[in-house]
Amino acid sequence: MAMKMQLNFFMLLSFFMYSCEKNVNQESNEQWKAEIIETEKAFAQMAKEKSIAEAFIYFAADDAVIMRSNQLVIGKEKIIAHFTPDQPVVENISLEWAPDFVDVSSSGDLGYTYGKYIYTTTDSAGNTSETEGIFHTVWKKQPNGQWRFVWD
């Protein structure tokens, strides 16, 4: 009888421990998603208020990769070089985006977002051109706790 009570107690304890762990993981997962969304919003806001180049450089991880014109730009140093070419800066451009979806790994160190973007240019004659598309960004939590993109 004592053995049966011990077994029942152990099973009940195991159930409660599993239930608590699942709730903690779900809460953590939602917190990480919120952190990524806030980082994505700050990224878009910096691109709007300062410059697209400054935002991409600031939010890139050291090992980030971007694909532009069907070419990979690998590493933050190459991304900096990509955004600081030997040509005049185009001032009449804007890039706006917002995530429609976010998910994060159960370990809380990788996440991704996707959504729509609008890239707008205005030429010297005042003609405006818009390009719309879908973006996909992979985020990695850095050792300092900040989220930085590793793929865009």
In this structure, of 17-31, 36-50, 69-83, 101-115, the range with the lowest mean pLDDT score is 17-31
Q: Which pair of tokens denotes residue 110?
A: 């990788």
Give strand pairing partners of 99: 115
pLDDT band, residue 138 (cuts 50/70/90): very high
In the chain, the number of structural domains is 1
C-alpha 87/C-alpha 51 separation (Å) is 16
Residue 87 has pLDDT above 90, yes or no: no
pLDDT at residue 150 is higher than 50:
yes
Q: Give the range of the structural domain holding residue 57, as residue numbers without chain letter.
A: 2-151
CATH assignment at residue 17:
3.10.450.50
Phi then psi for 150, rounded to 5 degrees? -115, -10
Return the sign of the alpha-carbon dihedral for residues 139, 141, 143, 144.
Answer: positive
